[in-house]
């Protein structure tokens, strides 16, 4: 996927803000192994965001900036939600719509590309995604939901697209 310099700057700012939140998230056993691999975090978060359109990315960046200003840490909130250590942050019906669609994309992708994509428990994937989605503003959620609806209408699979981006990235960055 080719990107413009503006889109690259947008992705980079999002990922660096997320990384700062991730590194500031305490782990019960001390620093987690994944927190010691910021370059891997960057690649995986780019993969997560690569299929979003610019409007969704801009809205999410606004969410991140507002969170920082108010002292929120999306990563901390997501992991606390995954462990049921805090109440839901949102009850929007869009949470399930998006999580269900992404889960269906994953199931289809695993059937089509079992050599590259493993299911590894779609319930875990769905829960992780849903907890992450709870941190988003209503505006960003609505934009994401529209992206999912559009992809489904166009017969696209966002999970396959993300994994294709990762395969292309790894081929062009063999040491990454």
Q: What local confidence, expressed as pLDDT, does residue 33 receive?
A: 64
List the pLDDT tens digit at each of the 176 positions of the chain: 668 999 999 999 999 999 999 999 877 766 666 677 889 999 999 999 999 999 999 999 999 999 999 999 999 999 999 999 999 999 999 999 999 999 999 999 999 998 888 876 658 889 999 999 999 999 999 999 999 999 999 999 999 999 999 999 999 987 75
Contact 63, 137 (CB under 8 A): yes
Return the closest-CA partner of residue 131 out of 90, 70, 71, 73. Answer: 90
118 near 30, Cβ under 8 Å? Answer: no
**Cβ atoms of 134 and 74 closer than 8 Å:** no
């Amino acid at each position: 996927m080719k990107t413009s310099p503006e889109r690259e700057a947008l992705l980079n700012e999002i990922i660096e803000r997320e990384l700062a939140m991730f590194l500031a998230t305490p782990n019960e056993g001390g620093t987690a192994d994944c927190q010691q691999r910021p370059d891997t975090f960057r690649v995986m978060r780019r993969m997560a965001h690569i299929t979003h359109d610019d409007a969704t990315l801009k809205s999410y960046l606004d969410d991140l900036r507002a969170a920082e200003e108010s002292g929120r840490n999306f990563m901390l909130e997501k992991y606390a939600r995954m462990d049921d250590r805090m109440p839901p942050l949102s009850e929007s019906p869009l949470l399930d719509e998006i999580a269900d669609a992404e889960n269906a994309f994953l199931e289809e992708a695993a059937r089509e590309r079992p050599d590259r994509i493993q299911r590894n428990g779609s319930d875990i994937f769905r829960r992780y995604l849903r907890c992450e989605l709870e941190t988003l503003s209503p505006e960003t959620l609505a934009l994401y939901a529209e992206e999912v609806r559009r992809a489904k209408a166009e017969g696209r699979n966002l999970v396959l697209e993300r994994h294709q981006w990762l395969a292309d990235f790894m081929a062009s960055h063999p040491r990454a």
